[in-house]
Amino acid sequence: MRTSDAIAPLPLAGRRALARRGRLLRLTLAERSLLLVAVDLLLLNAALALAAAWLAGYPPAAVFSPGYLKWYITLSLLWLAAANILDLYNLARAASGTAIIGMSSLAAFLTALIYLMIPWLTPAITNRIYGAGFILLAVGGITGWRALYARGLSQPAFYRHALVVGDGAAAAGLLAELRAGAAAHRPNPYRGTGYLIIGVVPLHGGQGDGQLPVLGAPDQLVGLARQYDVDEIILADPVAAQADPATFQALLDCRELGIPIRALAEVYERMTARLPVEYARCDPALTLSPADSASNRLYIAAKWLIDRIAALIGLIALGLLAPIIALANAIWCPGPLFYYQERLGLAGRPFIVRKFRTMVPDAERTTGATWAAAGDPRITPVGAILRRSRLDELPQVLNVLAGEMSLVGPRPERPEFVGRLAEELPAYRIRHAVKPGITGWAQVRCPYGDSIEAARIKLEHDLYYVRHASLYLDLIILLKTAAVVLGLRGR
């Protein structure tokens, strides 16, 4: 694994050399995300102000007047939508120059082009030079900044130094998971997280597992943290660490010094946007319900209203498309227009989901309940188009109106599979704590799966959604779903 990868143990000399560098350079995940958003918006709005004053003939004082604030708000909203659709705030993607330069250029170009087409909310196009100049300034500024971030802020000098306390095997398991992801994807999906594991401090005289250097005993934590200039301490098993009096006191001493202490499961979750099933037993807080707060209740009410409005709009689209799809089916594969199937929803209650039929009639007559696979011969020509465009899901707006589903949530699974998955995967039934959705975090983050391992990865995404559900996350999912639909990347 290269030193530019997300979590990579270095030789002792290298770790000590890096430890001498200032902590201010070592950005957290939240700081990296905030920096990307802030500089993106600053550069885009600066490009607009410069183009309006320099090329469109607006007086400089007028360009910055409150009356033209709508220009910058409109541009900012357009950019945030385009950037999230193209996944530009994925820290792993942002850290890869080859991946980010083309996508950031495309996002800036599309944002500027669409912006110029919006009347009333944008500066009047007084000449062609203004339009072309604004596009060039926007694309040039964003591309240059993103290239600088990928080449500069992804270097080891900006990595956060972490020390693992507890089971070295658990930390090694996390390393293996990240390395497996790095080997299976281009670009490396974890490079941008910026973590460096210095070593491990085992509990109860453990010797580690040989993959990470053992640095000392728990009662030496304060000295080790100072020696290696540690930014975070990661607990492989928070329950076991706090149950040991000596370790607990050492952790309190480190906390008093202002050193953040995290659970290994939390670090995994922050880096992968998945809730780790394997480590949930080490951190019971990961499976607790969200706080009973006013903001959470407001979210539930807003989600209910948005679901009904979206379902009513979806009914119009359903009425327009159903005759066309029925005619296409009659020509290429006669049979029922709709497909009805039992699924499990909120609290594990069964309900009947409605979809446009995409397979031959009685597709499971001889095989029984099976997952669809790549190149599945049961899928009809019309069904292939419906699946790629995700239009086969459209009839589920009826389930949303009936209160059985939501617009966004974990995809409902068939009862035949739930029992098996629950036996293989701990915490599987937690996904039934919220209403299932037409689209979800797992659907926009990972490809279609037809195995237990694929189901595990999807489950981790679903559990992440259950834990972090919010209007903001729902909006991100809807934007990414739009990208899947427009790009015909469904399956």
Q: According to the model, what pLDDT value does residue 27 have?
A: 79
Q: According to the model, what pLDDT value does residue 20 have?
A: 44
Q: According to the model, what pLDDT value does residue 366 have?
A: 59
| pTM for this prediction | 0.80
Share of the chain above pLDDT 70, in %: 80
Q: According to the model, what pLDDT value does residue 294 have?
A: 84
With a CB cutoff of 8 Å and minimum separation 6, the contacts of 402 are 351
What Å distances lie between residue 203 and 54, 164, 194, 265, CA to CA?
A: 65, 10, 26, 18
Nearest residue to 45 (alpha-carbon basis) of 142, 168, 185? 142
The CATH code belonging to domain 159-287 is: 3.40.50
pLDDT digits (tens, 9 = 90+) for 287-320: 666 677 788 889 999 999 999 999 999 999 999 9
Whole-angstrom distance, CA of residue 47 vs CA of residue 72? 11
Q: According to the model, what pLDDT value does residue 206 have?
A: 61
Distance of CA 268 to the CA centre of its chain: 13
Query: Which of the residues in the chain have pLDDT under 50?
Result: 1-22, 181-190
Block residue for tokens 């946007």:
273
Q: According to the model, what pLDDT value does residue 445 have?
A: 85
Give the domain ranges of the chain: 27-153, 159-287, 294-486
pLDDT digits (tens, 9 = 90+) for 246-302: 889 999 999 988 889 988 878 778 777 887 777 665 556 656 666 777 888 899 999
Residue 127 tokens read as 């000449």
